[in-house]
Amino acid sequence: MEITVIEGENMFKFPEGDTFFSTRKNVLDWGAKDFAMLQPHLKDNRVCLDVGAHCGITTLRYATHFANVHSFEPIHHVLLSENTKSFPNVTVHGCAISDKAGTVEMYPNIKNSGGGIIPDEYNAKIIGHRYENKDAMFPEIKKIIVECLPLDSFNFIKVDLIKIDVEMHILPVINGMIDTLTNNSPIVQIEMSDYDDVNTRAHTIFQELGYVEFGFDFGFSPGTYNYNHQDSFYYKNN
C-alpha cells in the first residue's frame, strides 16, 4: 500500500515504508528554491529532462513551466505516472540513466524512497557502509535489477533544463549525455557526490564543454569543490 499525502488541494502518493518524504511538512515544496534560482538563467521552456524523478515532486513543478517533460525513474515509475497523470505533457520512462544500454544492479531505499543507488566504481565505500559490510546499516536490503540507458540514446532536441538526482552515480550519467549537452546547451542542476574527487572530475567535464557554474546549494565553498552531496548549477558559456 502506498502512502497518500494531502497538502491543500493536492494529493500525492509515496511508496509504503517511506518516512523521509511522507512525514515532511510542505513536502511538495521540495526543490522549489532550487528552481527559483535557476529560472532567471533559462532561455526557453521547451523540454525538461528530470533524471531521477522519484515519485514526481519536481516533475509536477516542471510540467507547469515546460512544454514537455521527460522523467526517468527506475524504481517508483508507477507512482510517478500516477502522481503526474493529470499532465499530458509528462512522459515517464521507467529506466535508470547511465553510460550504457542494458541492465544494472540497484539498491532500493525503503525509508528514504528517493535514495535508491546504483553501485559503481566511484561509490563503493558508501555502498559497503550502507549495505554490504559486516556492520552495514541496512544489510536486509537486497539489490534489484533495473533497465538502464544513456541519455544520448534518446536523441532529445530543444532541451532547456536537465535535473540530475542519481545518488552519486553522476559520472556515468554525465558520460552518457555528452552529445545531449553539446547539441542542446541546457541548464544543468546536479546533485553532487559525497566524494570530492568525483565532483572535481564532473566539474572538469562541464568546464571542457564550455559550462560555467552559476550557483550551488547548502554551503558549497567556491574553489574547494567540497560539495558534500549537494546541488550545483551550470549554464553554457556561449
Cα 127 from Cα 137, distance rounded (Å): 10
- Is the predicted pLDDT of residue 224 greater than 50, yes or no? no
Tell me what pLDDT residue 8 has: 76
- Is the predicted pLDDT of residue 225 greater than 70, yes or no? no
Q: Give residue 229's pLDDT band: very low, low, confident or very high (50, 70, 90).
A: very low
- Is the predicted pLDDT of residue 217 greater than 80, yes or no? no
Q: Give residue 228's pLDDT band: very low, low, confident or very high (50, 70, 90).
A: very low
Q: Give residue 227's pLDDT band: very low, low, confident or very high (50, 70, 90).
A: very low
pLDDT digits (tens, 9 = 90+) for 10-36: 889 999 999 999 999 999 999 999 999
- Is the predicted pLDDT of residue 51 greater than 90, yes or no? yes
**Model pTM greater than 0.85?**
yes
**CATH number of 3-236: 3.40.50.150, 3.40.50.1980, 3.30.450.20, 1.10.260.40?**
3.40.50.150
Higher local confidence (pLDDT), 220 or 122:
122
